[in-house]
Amino acid sequence: MTAENASTHAMMVRPGHDAREREQFFLSLRGWINGFAEEVVKPRIRSHARDADIPVDVPAAPGQRFEVRRACETDPAYLLWGSMWASSQKLLWNYVGQSVEAQHEKLRQAFRDRQGRVGSLRLSPEMQLPRYLTAKDVHAMPGGYALDRGDDDLRAGAMYDRGGALFQLQANGGVMNDGRGHTMVAFLQDAFAVTSPRRILDLGCTVGNSTVALAQHFPDAEVHAVDASPAMLRYAHARAEALGVPIHFSQQNAEHTDFEDGSFDLVVSHVMLHETSRQALPRILAECHRLLKPGGVMAHLEVPYRYQDMLIDDVIIRDWQSYHNGEPFWGGCCTADFAGLLTTAGFDDQRIGFQPSTRDPADPNRGRFCSTGEPNFRYWFVAGGRRLD
Ligand SMILES: C[S@@+](CC[C@H](N)C(=O)[O-])C[C@H]1O[C@@H](n2cnc3c(N)ncnc32)[C@H](O)[C@@H]1O
């Protein structure tokens, strides 16, 4: 499938013939690395675990991954697999970056022309991005979320939108990359019977892939979305305007926003928490509690890896992201005690588990929220709770 087989929108960069060929090469290469090459590495990982008396047929204790990883870091097969993964990631950004650079002026003009037609954008140039977003280039994207050359720069957003869909191997709602938002809607219905929230906040919205899906599902709601990254938000605003979906974007730190106490019925995030830090996570949950009305629902969708339920070879493969793809809190999030964290933040009626991914919430075949999942992107991990008082 090519990127343009799925529905798209006016802000998406259009690859020319050669760029399209390069994207197809990336998809084939990454498919091969995630398939064949991964299966070559896994027996090596199990062998290192056995050498350290760590179980390979049942889940190991999450902390045992550190010892196995240390052994892997001198294993040629693991190093080769890892360097292929890292190189393919560089190729992805290089390929997408060329298309974005060639079309940036056109995108910038579209951003200027479309501003504020149905939604709004509020940037805060004085805001400092949290260190966990600037210390590394998350996803190894050059410049990361902090990339902003000023003067209505949209590069970070344009690269993330096209690169993110390819990064997910187009299995998260194709070019729209909105499967997480639709999956969140399914979770909210399955787990909390949410029907008609009046005010919704999406934290860490990036370019609004999931926010737009939420807003389309709840067309009567007033939808707000925050992110720390200005170039993501400019693009997110232009993208939502191009799709005709009213969303109010603002540049804010999810740890402490400027919204009033009790001003939302629903506060959500999609794959944001694993890109924060151990210190930030409880602060964000406390902020969600402050922002919700009594009876309001908070839900966070995350990568589908709970290390305590996974075999060690899978854990080591997934945990590579913590060390080599600019995601240092990935492992911390995959082992976090969400039940304890939600309780400390004051949330009752907790629903913590897995939601089968779906692009279309009307799909009669979609699955239901469940307590166990699989470590792949056919499921997403979700942690939700209700503010009762
Ligand atoms: C992987 S992206 C989220 C993707 C998006 N929610 C979606 O589903 O398409 C993580 C985003 O969280 C944002 N982020 C992380 N920590 C944040 C914080 N403390 N405040 C605001 N945004 C934050 C980053 O800037 C980044 O855009």
Contact 185, 213 (CB under 8 A): yes
Distance 66 CA to ligand 1 centre (A): 27
Long-range CB contact pairs, 216-224, < 8 A, 24+? 216/245, 217/181, 217/182, 217/185, 217/361, 220/196, 221/196, 221/197, 221/265, 221/266, 222/198, 222/248, 223/247, 223/248, 224/199, 224/200, 224/248, 224/249, 224/250, 224/259, 224/264
- Residue-level pLDDT at 371: 77
pLDDT per position as a tens digit, 289-303:
999 999 999 999 999
Give me the residues of the chain with pLDDT under 50, please.
1-6
- Residue-level pLDDT at 346: 97
- Residue-level pLDDT at 3: 37
Q: How many domains are there within the chain?
A: 1
- Residue-level pLDDT at 8: 83
User: H helices within the chain, ranges in order?
Assistant: 17-32, 38-51, 65-72, 76-114, 131-134, 155-167, 179-192, 209-217, 230-243, 280-291, 312-324, 330-334, 338-344
Task: Pick the residue whose CA is nearest to atom 5 on ligand 1.
Answer: 205
Distance CA 161, CA 208 (A): 9
- Residue-level pLDDT at 360: 62
**Per-residue tokens: 285:** 């949950």
Long-range CB contact pairs, 66-75, < 8 A, 24+? 68/312, 68/316, 69/316, 69/319, 69/323, 72/44, 72/45, 72/48, 72/316, 75/44, 75/48
CATH of the domain at 292: 3.40.50.150
Distance CA 52, CA 75 (A): 15
**Mutation test of ligand 1: which of 182, 227, 239 has the most ligand atoms closer than 8 Å to its C-beta?**
227
Distance 206 CA to ligand 1 centre (A): 5
pLDDT per position as a tens digit, 76-126:
999 999 999 999 999 999 999 999 999 999 999 999 998 999 999 999 999
Structural domain boundaries enclosing 172:
1-389
Shortest-distance atom of ligand 1 to CA 284: 19
- Residue-level pLDDT at 366: 65
Task: Pick the residue whose CA is nearest to atom 9 on ligand 1.
Answer: 209
